[in-house]
Structure 1
Amino acid sequence: MNIKKQLSVGLMSALLGVTLIGGGTYAYFSDSVETNNTFAAGTLDLSVNPTQIIEVDNMKPGDSFIRDFEIQNNGTLDIGKVLLETAYTVNDAKGDNTEDIGKYIEVEFLYNADKLDEVIYETTLDKLQNMKPEAVNEHIFYPMFGEKGLPVGATDDLVVKFNFIDNEKDQNEFQGDSLNLTWTFNAQQTAGEQR
C-alpha cells in the first residue's frame, strides 16, 4: 500500500472513530427529580391596647394622671425593638401663648402599676417629640424588654404617668388650651439568622 492509501485509510478510520465517540455521548442512562421549595416571609404585628391611652379635661398645674396599656406581639416573628414617635399639636384657646404647654407635660415611663416609684425614663412631651425613635427605644423599651425583645405571643404592660408641671409662676396662658398627642409605635424585627 502506498502512502496515499495508508493516509486515506488512516483518515477514514479516525473520522469513523470520532463519529462513534460523538454518537456515543448521547447513549447513557438518566434520571431526574423535581423538588418544590417555598420561601414564606413572617409577619410583624404589634398592637397596643387600648389605642386611646389618655383623655382628660379640666386639668390644672400640679395634676397627674397614671395610665397603663399593653403592648402585644401578635405576629409570627419576634420583635427586636419598639420605636416610639411622638407628635402633638396645641390648641391655644386665647391665642396668647408665649410658651409651649408640651414643656409642662412631664411623662414618666414606669416599670408596672405595682411599682409606681420605679421610673424607667422621665422627660417632657416637647423633648420626647424631638427625640429620635432609636433613643426612645434605648431609654424606655430596651430596659423593659432587654436583649430578648418582645417574643411572638408576648404581652408587656407599660405604665405612663403624665404630670402637668406647676412651675409656681403664672401659667394663665394655658387656661382653656388643649394638647392632642399622637404616639406611633413601630416594631422592628430581630436580627436575621442562619437557619
Structure 2
Amino acid sequence: MLMEKYLQHQQELHHVFIDFKKALDRIWHEALWSTMRKYNINSNLMSVIENFYNKATSAVFCNNNIGDWFRSTVGVRQGCLLSPTLFNIFLERIMTDALEDHCGTVSIGGRPIINLRLADDINGLAGNECERASLVEQLDKASSNFGMEINAEKTKIMTNSKESSKKEIKVNGQILESVTKLKYLGSIISDEG
C-alpha cells in the first residue's frame, strides 16, 4: 500500500529489507541489561530477568555423554515467551543508535517514517538512493557495536524508481540483492505497487 501511494504521487520509495544473522542467539546480556536500564524498565522486573539468565547453566549432550556445564552470556532462550520482548528492547536500542542522526524523507500522513518493524522483520525506508545507502551504513555500524550482524545474503533492496541508477550497496563486502518482488510479513510487495 505504501509503494502504491508513492507510485501514485510519482515519488521515489526505496526499501531495505534487513535480516540479522542468528538474531536471537547474538544478544549480549550485559548490553541488554544496560538497554533495559536506559529505558527505565522496572528494577524488580529487571532483577527477575537478570537472575533468570545469570543463574542458568547449560551442557551439551552428545553420544549419551553430558559435557561440562557452562553459563552463557549471549542469546535469549528459544521458545521462551519473554524472548521476543527482550529482542525488541535490544533492537530498539540498535535502531535508535543507528537512526539518531538520520533524517528520513519518507512520510505517512505527514509523519516521517524511517522503518517498519515486526519482531526481526525490518523494512528500512528511504526517499532516495543516498538516503538508503546511509541507512544501511548506519544500521550496519550500530548493529556491529552490539554484536549483531546483518545477513547480506538475506537482506534485499527494492525501489519504485525507474530512473534510479541501481547503485550497489554492500554489507561486509557483499552486494545486497535488488529485487522487484518480495514476500514481507505474508504479503507480496512489488516495485510496481
TM-score by length of 1: 0.25
TM-score by length of 2: 0.25
Indicate the structure (1 or 2) with the bigger Cα radius of gyration.
1
**Higher helix residue share:** 2
